């Protein structure tokens, strides 16, 4: 029986019975992405996840599949084998790898900035670098910096700048702390 105000009676109000079809599709796409990344992991890292036998075999087989359509089918198969425990461990591993990669990229950019500053500002920037990194080889850095500055505009400029970069990398690499 319909009410006059257009609102259906409580008995006719339908409650959703679970996630929508779109939500299920999004979830499965995310699992497929995780499955793809699992297949791309180096075998040693994947072994550290302690996968069950069926999933480990599917990963081993999947690494050998090169054909695009077969690979996609296999990725869907691996995604169906993933359980919540494996998903959480895999996500933590991949997040850790992403964080390590981000730290390495930041370190690389810092080295580039120091190289550019040393070439642009000269001895003032070198003094500041040596104050921040007292274990660095001051003589080698000064020599490489002066050579790179002298070579600006010549065919040797890129090689000199690379040598300065490598010296900076060695200086920071020796003092680098292991990740926590």
Give, in degrees to the nearest 5, the angle at Cα 13 between 10 and 15.
125
CA–CA dist 180, 177 (Å, integer): 9
Compute how many other C-beta atoms are within 10 angstroms of the C-beta atom of residue 63.
16
Asked which of 40, 63, 89 is the last residue of a domain, the reply is 89
Q: What is the pLDDT of residue 10?
A: 63
Q: What is the pLDDT of residue 6?
A: 64
CA–CA dist 176, 163 (Å, integer): 20
Q: Give me the count of residues in the chain.
A: 180
How far out from the chain centre does Cα 180 lie?
17
40 and 71 together in one domain: yes
Region for residue 157 given its phi and psi (left: phi exceeds 0; alpha: psi -120 to 50; beta: otherwise) = alpha
pTM check: above 0.95: no
SS3 25: helix
120-169 pLDDT tens trace: 888 898 889 888 888 888 888 989 988 888 888 889 989 999 999 999 88
CA–CA dist 170, 180 (Å, integer): 21
DSSP code for 179: P
CA–CA dist 124, 109 (Å, integer): 20
105 and 171 together in one domain: yes
83 and 128 together in one domain: no
In the chain, the number of structural domains is 2
| Closest to 140 measured CA to CA, from 130, 132, 153 | 130
74-122 pLDDT tens trace: 889 888 888 888 888 888 877 777 788 888 888 889 889 999 998 888 8
Q: Can you give the residue range of the structural domain that contains 147? A: 101-175
Question: Is 157 part of a structural domain of the chain?
Answer: yes
């Amino acid at each position: 029986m319909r009410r006059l105000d257009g609102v259906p009676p409580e008995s006719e109000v339908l409650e959703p019975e679970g996630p929508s079809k779109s939500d299920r599709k999004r979830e499965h796409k995310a699992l497929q992405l995780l499955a793809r990344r699992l297949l791309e992991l180096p075998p040693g890292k994947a072994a550290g996840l302690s996968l069950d036998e069926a999933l480990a075999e599917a990963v081993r087989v999947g690494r050998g599949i090169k054909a695009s359509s077969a690979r996609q089918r296999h990725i869907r198969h691996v995604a169906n084998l993933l359980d919540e425990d494996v998903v959480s461990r895999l996500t933590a591993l991949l997040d850790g790898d992403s964080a390590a990669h981000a730290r390495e990229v930041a370190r690389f950019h810092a080295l580039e900035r120091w190289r550019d500053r040393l070439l642009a500002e000269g001895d003032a920037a070198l003094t500041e670098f040596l104050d921040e990194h007292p274990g660095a080889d001051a003589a080698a850095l000064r020599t490489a910096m002066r050579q790179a500055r002298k070579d600006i505009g010549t065919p040797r400029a890129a090689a000199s700048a690379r040598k300065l970069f490598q010296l900076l990398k060695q200086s920071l690499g020796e003092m680098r702390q292991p990740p926590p």
